[in-house]
Chains A and B, each alone.
Chain A
Amino acid sequence: AQRVTQPEKLLSVFKGAPVELKCNYSYSGSPELFWYVQYSRQRLQLLLRHISRESIKGFTADLNKGETSFHLKKPFAQEEDSAMYYCALSDQAGTALIFGKGTTLSVSS
């Protein structure tokens, strides 16, 4: 079964601390993975796509096929990073996205 697991509902860190938002997936074959971010009451925005290997707003994510993980990392959290983060997996047919339940990141000063 295709599944995305985000084990943490809430992650609270202090400004300047490192951040790691966990994402594990279940998929047969080569997965296509994304991170989306949703700031308070706004639309979801694409943050990262694993194939592009870009760093957006200081965030990076590496696909680890051995551990079936796609954790999102940032070395120094900022208050403006506070948001809901969703990990998503493209389904086997390549038509729809399967989302994790999301992790709320709270960065305080």
Chain B
Amino acid sequence: DAGITQSPRHKVTETGTPVTLRCHQTENHRYMYWYRQDPGHGLRLIHYSYGVKDTDKGEVSDGYSVSRSKTEDFLLTLESATSSQTSVYFCAIRTGDNTNNEQFFGPGTRLTVL
């Protein structure tokens, strides 16, 4: 499984509460990504990281922040959750080299915001 896990796997929270999702890898890959998956939209990139403390925004970054204080962990935070952030969140790592953008995905976190 390329050593990538996500926690929690399921979470139900209320509007306005902060939520942090964790992605953990065991293989020291440089690039890590957060996507959200929604029916009719496919997967959309939220944020990504290209090294410790190096992050950049993706297509749908509003309302989300990320942090990467060590190589193995990439955290996604919803500062004040809204119902529109109900989704399945996937973390991914880039397993390819500089000429190969192959990504390996985590098992996903199903988040429901009531």
Contact = CB atoms under 8 A, between A and B. Distances in A.
Contacts of A101: 40-42
Interface stretch (B21-29, B67-75, B78-86, B98-106): B98-106
A96 B48 contact: yes
B10 to A, nearest CB: 11
Contacts, number: 55
Nearest to B44: A99
B42 A96 contact: no
A96 B40 CA distance: 20
Contacts of A51: 100
Given A43-B107, A43-B108, A96-B33, A90 B101 contact: yes
A46 B102 contact: yes
Interface residues of B, number: 26
Contacts of A70: none
Contacts of B19: none
Given A43-B90, A44-B90, A86-B42, A95 B105 contact: no
A45 B40 CA distance: 19
A98 B48 CA distance: 13
B72 to A, nearest CB: 18
A76 B50 CA distance: 41
B43 interface: yes
- Looking at B40, B41, B100, B107, the one whose CB has the most chain A CB atoms below 10 A away is B100
Contact of A96 (B41, B45, B98, B107): B45
A95 B54 CA distance: 13
